[in-house]
Amino acid sequence: MTQIRLTTPTPFGIATLVVRVLVGGYVMFAAVPKIADPLAFATSIGHYELLPSAAVNAFALVIPWLEVLVGTALVLGLRLRTSAILTGVLILVFTAAVAWAVLHNLQIDCGCFGSQGGEDVSWSKVLKNLAMVAGCGLIVWKPESWLRLDH
């Protein structure tokens, strides 16, 4: 049975709640325009030149729903350690693609929000993503968080 854990909030528990909402919310928010316009997202994926063209459309259809799934689980605190690991790995894969694009001097949009105005690939974007991965790592290391769902 799923229940919400209503313990007395600690400063660390509140901090991890904030990290959960910010990172999970960002991932969920980024998924919406990709779901709404999968062709634009497929075009963004293709600009990275990392996948064979036959795989681009499949990734464009699957990745946004995966973002919704892991982002929602993280925000709700459902299987917190697992959702933080999955969210962190997903962001890490995106970060590796952005770093690859920067290293290869590709002048492209990151595709983070589909056609809804992401930012250009840059080391700044890599650092922002790594900060979110670090937040996920913090939750994995110590999954104490306030207002989370447990099984």
Is pLDDT above 60 for 69? yes
Residue 141 placed within a domain: yes
What does pTM read for this prediction? 0.88
Q: How confident is the model at residue 148 (pLDDT cuts 50, 70, 90)?
A: confident
131 touches 22 (CB < 8 A): no
Residue 16 placed within a domain: yes
**pLDDT tens per residue, range 44-68:** 999 999 999 999 999 999 999 999 9
Residue 5 placed within a domain: no
Is pLDDT above 90 for 82? yes
Residue 2 placed within a domain: no
Residue 6 placed within a domain: no
Task: State the pLDDT at residue 117.
Answer: 67
CA 10 and chain centroid, separation: 26
Task: State the pLDDT at residue 151.
Answer: 46
Sort 77 into a burial class: Cβ within 10 Å, 0-12 / 13-18 / 19+. buried
User: Among the listed ranges 8-12, 44-48, 114-118, which one has the minimum average pLDDT value?
Assistant: 114-118
d(CA 19, CA 63): 22
Q: How confident is the model at residue 11 (pLDDT cuts 50, 70, 90)?
A: confident
Residue 123 placed within a domain: yes
| Average pLDDT of the residues of the chain | 90
Domain residues for 41? 11-150
Total structural domains in the chain?
Answer: 1
Residue 23 placed within a domain: yes
Residue 1 placed within a domain: no
